[in-house]
Amino acid sequence: MEKNNKVKLKKIRLSTVLYSVVFFVLVLIIIGILFIYKFSNDNSILSSIDEKMPLPAIIINGKKIITIGEVKNNLRAIESFYENQDFASLGYRVDFSTEDGKKRLKVRERELINKMIEDRAIEMLAEEKGIKITNKMVDEAVNRKIAEAGSKDAVIKNLNNLYGWSLKDFKNKIVKFSLYKANLESWVEKNTGKQKKERARKDIEEAKTNLDKGISFEDVANNSKSNKAPEGGHIGWFKKEYLATELQSVVVSMQKGETSDIIESKLGYHILKLNDKKNKDNEELYDLSQIFFPKLSFADWLDGQIKKMKVNVLLNEYQWDTKKGIVEFKDSKMQEFEKKALSNPQRDVSLITL
C-alpha cells in the first residue's frame, strides 16, 4: 500500500513538472509573439523570426490571412526593385537607410499592405461567386507572358534581378490575383449595377439629343446633373495612351472642333469634343471636353465590398479605417510625413507608384 502511494506521488510530481514546463514554454512563446508584433520592424533578430512563423498581420472576415512574413517578403521585393534601378543617371538617389528613407519605405509598406488586402478581398469575393482559378489557368497565363517576352530564361532572370523572385513567386503574387480580378470584373459587369448602367445610358442619349438640337456642348455639359466633368466639360490636354482604351482610336480620328458619337467604356458613357491638338516632342496631344455618365465601375463596387468587410490589423503601427476601407498609420507624425511626401512624389522616385 505504501509502495503504491509512493508510485502515485511520483507520477503526480512528474505530471506537475511536465505541466509546469509546458506552461513555461507557452508563456515564453506568447511573450515572444508579443515582442514580434511590437518590435518586429526595429529588431533584425525578431524580423528573421517573424518571417519563419506564419503569424497573421491582417485577418479579413476571419477567413483570409496575410502573414507578417508575406508583408516582409513583398517589401523586400520593393526594396530590391529600387536598388537594382539606375536612378543615378536620372539624377535620383534612393537610400532607405536614412531616417527619411526608413519613413519613405514605411509609406511603401502601407501601400503594399492595402494592395495585399485588395488582392485577398478579390480572391475571397471571386470564390464566393463560384470563380475558381486553377494551377493550369495560372500556368497558361504565365506561358502567354513568356511568349510575349520571348524567352523563359529572360523572364526568370528579370524577375530575380529586379525583385528577387522565382517564377513560382511571380505566379503566386501577381498572375493568380490578376486572373481572379479579371474574372471577378467580368462577373460584376454582367451581374451588378444594371440599374445604374441603364440610367447612365438614358442620360447620355438625352445629352446627345440636346447636342443634335443645336445646344452647345458647354451648355449640355453644364446642365447634365450626373456629368462628372468640370465647367463646360473641359478636361484638358491628353496623350492618347492616357485615355481609356475605348476612347483612343476615336480621339485620334477626330478633327478639331468635332464632337463624337456616344462611346461606351468600362467606366461609363462618353461624348467627346476635340477642342485642339498639337505635336510636342514628337507626340500628339489632344485638348478634350467630355460629357460623361459613369456606370458602376469595378473599382467602386470593390471599394464598397471591402468597406463591408471586417478587417483586423494586428501590426502595431497601423489601424483599419472603416470609413475609407484602408489601412492607415496610427502615428499622426507618419500621417503628416506621408501626406507631405505624396503631395509631390516627383521629387522622390521611391514614392512613384511602380
**What does the alpha-carbon distance between residue 47 and residue 36 come to, in Å, rounded to a whole number?**
7
| Percent of the chain predicted with pLDDT > 70 | 78
261-317 pLDDT, tens digit per residue, is 999 998 889 999 999 999 988 889 999 999 999 888 889 899 999 999 999 999 989
Candidate from 87-101, 193-207, 288-302 with smallest mean pLDDT? 87-101
Strand ranges across the sheet with 263-264: 234-239, 283-294, 268-280, 263-264
Grid cell in block for residue 347: 521629387
The residue assigned the cell 491582417 is: 58
Q: Quickly state the pLDDT bin for 149 (edges 50, 70, 90).
A: confident
- pLDDT(344) > 90: no
Its pTM stands at 0.71
206-232 pLDDT, tens digit per residue, is 999 999 999 999 999 987 755 556 678
Strand ranges across the sheet with 311-313: 64-67, 56-60, 311-313
CA 234 to chain centre: 30
Contacts with 15 (C-beta within 8 Å, 6 or more apart), sequence order: none
Phi first, then psi, for residue 319 (nearest 5°) are -145, 155
Phi first, then psi, for residue 286 (nearest 5°) are -125, 125
Q: What is the mean pLDDT of residues 324-331?
A: 96
Candidate from 62-66, 109-113, 123-127, 350-354 with smallest mean pLDDT? 350-354
Q: Quickly state the pLDDT bin for 94 (edges 50, 70, 90).
A: confident
The pLDDT value recorded for residue 210 is: 94
101-146 pLDDT, tens digit per residue, is 899 999 999 999 999 999 999 999 999 999 999 999 999 999 998 9
The pLDDT value recorded for residue 43 is: 44
The pLDDT value recorded for residue 345 is: 56
List the one residue out of 178, 187, 61 whose CA is nearest residue 131.
Answer: 187
